[in-house]
Amino acid sequence: MIDFFKVSPLSKVLIKIFAKGFYKVNAGLLLFLFVTIILYCFYIEVLNQTHFEPDVIILFNLSFVLSIISSPVLVILVFAVWTVFTIKSWSYVSSQIIVPENQFLFYSSNSIDRFSQFKSWLLVQLIISIPIIVYGVFAMLIGIAFGYYLIPIVILLFAFFMACISALLYMHTINKLINPYEKTIYLNIAKNWKKPFFSLFLYHCLNNLQVTIAVTKILSFIIIIGGTYILADIQHDLRVTSVICLGIVLTHSLLIYQSNYFETTQLAFTRNFPLSSNQVYLNYLLTYLLLTLPENIWLLLNFNPFESFSLILFSTGTAMFFKSILYLIRLNMRRYLYRIFFLFLLYFIMIMFQLIWVLIPINIFISLWIYNKQYYKLEDL
C-alpha cells in the first residue's frame, strides 16, 4: 500500500518535464485568474462593510460556490470549462512528448510495466489539475456544510475521472509512437472498401485516434445522461436540450481540431481535386454527422422530428463554425481554445434568451462564407 503512494523516479522525471513546464507556460493565465478572484473577494468585502451585517459577509463571499453546487446547469458549465482546461493540458503534454530532448522517454519509460506508467502519468495530471482539485475540495466542504452532498461529490469524481483519462491518453501516445505504422484491426477489415472523401477522417480516427474518440464519446454521453436526469423537471424546455447539444459540440472540439490538422498535413493534395469549396464543406458536414451518429440517434428517438432535426442542424452548424475558425487562425491550439470557449459562453447566453433559431442560420452562413474565402488560400502557405 505504501509503494502505491511512493513517488517513483519516473514520476519525478515526468513531473519536472511536463507538470512544471505546464505551469511555467500558463503562469500568466493562472495568475490572472488568481488575481481576479482575489480582487473579487476584496470588492465584495468593501461592499458588505457598507451595506450588510458582519454575520452575512461570509454567506455573500460563498454565494458563487453555493450557486454552482446547487445548480445543475452551472455544474455543466463548470464541467465544460474544466474540459477545455484538460484539453489544453493534453495539447501541451502531447506537444512536449515529441520534442527531441524528451524522446529518451520512448526508450526508458516504456520499459516499465503499464500500471507503473499509469500511476506516474496520473500523478502528473493530478498536479496539472491542482486548480480543479482545490476548487472541487472547497466545493465539497461548502456543500457538506450547507446540505448539498451529491453535486460536490460528482465534481470531485469528474476531476479524478478526467485525470485517469488523461493518464491513459498519455500512455497510449508514448507507447504507440514506437510503431507508428502499425495498422489497426479496423483498417485491416476495411482495406478493400471504397473510401469516399468524407470518410477519410473517420478512418484516420479509427486507426490513430482511438483514445481521443473514446474520451470524446464518454464525455458526450456523460453530458447527455447528466443533462437528461439532472434537468428532468425542465426537460420540455428546448433551451435545456440546446445547451446539451452545445456541450456535445464542445466535447468534440478536439476532434474538430484534429480533422483540420489531418486535412492540412496529410490531405493537402486533395486541393487539386475537382471539388469546389462548397462540395468540401458538404463532405466535412457529412463527416461530422457520422462522427456524432449516436448523439443524433438519441435526438431523433427522444424528440419530435422538427425539434430533433433543428437540434442536429444547430449542433452540426456550430461544429462547422468551429472548424471554419481554424482556417482563419491556422493550426494554433491555444487561440482555437480561447475562441471556442468565448463562443460557448456567447451561445449559452443566446440560448437562454431563446435565440437558437438565430444561431442556426448564423452558423451555416458564416462557416460557409469562411470556407469559400479561405479554403483554397491554404495553398499559399
Greatest Cα pair distance in the chain: 76
pLDDT at 284: 93
Q: Identify whether the C-beta of residue 220 lies closer than 8 Å to the C-beta of residue 310.
A: no
Express each pLDDT in 303-359 by its tens digit.
888 989 999 999 999 999 999 999 988 888 888 888 888 898 899 889 888 898 999
Of 211, 224, 225, 285, residue with least CA distance to 254 = 211
pLDDT tens for residues 203-219?
888 877 877 888 788 88
Low-confidence ranges of the chain (pLDDT < 70): 1-6, 27-74, 77, 146, 149, 177-191, 229-236, 378-381
> What is the sign of the dihedral through the CA atoms of 211, 215, 220 and 222?
positive
pTM reported for the whole predicted model: 0.63
Task: Give the model's pLDDT for residue 64.
Answer: 56
* DSSP assignment of 209-252: -HHHHHHHHHHHHHHHHHHHHHTGGGTTSHHHHHHHHHHHHHHT
Q: CA-to-CA distance for 347 and 366, rounded, in angstroms?
A: 15
Res 295: pLDDT: 93
Q: What is the pLDDT of residue 186?
A: 59
**Quick one: pLDDT at residue 53?**
54
What is the model's pLDDT at position 62?
58
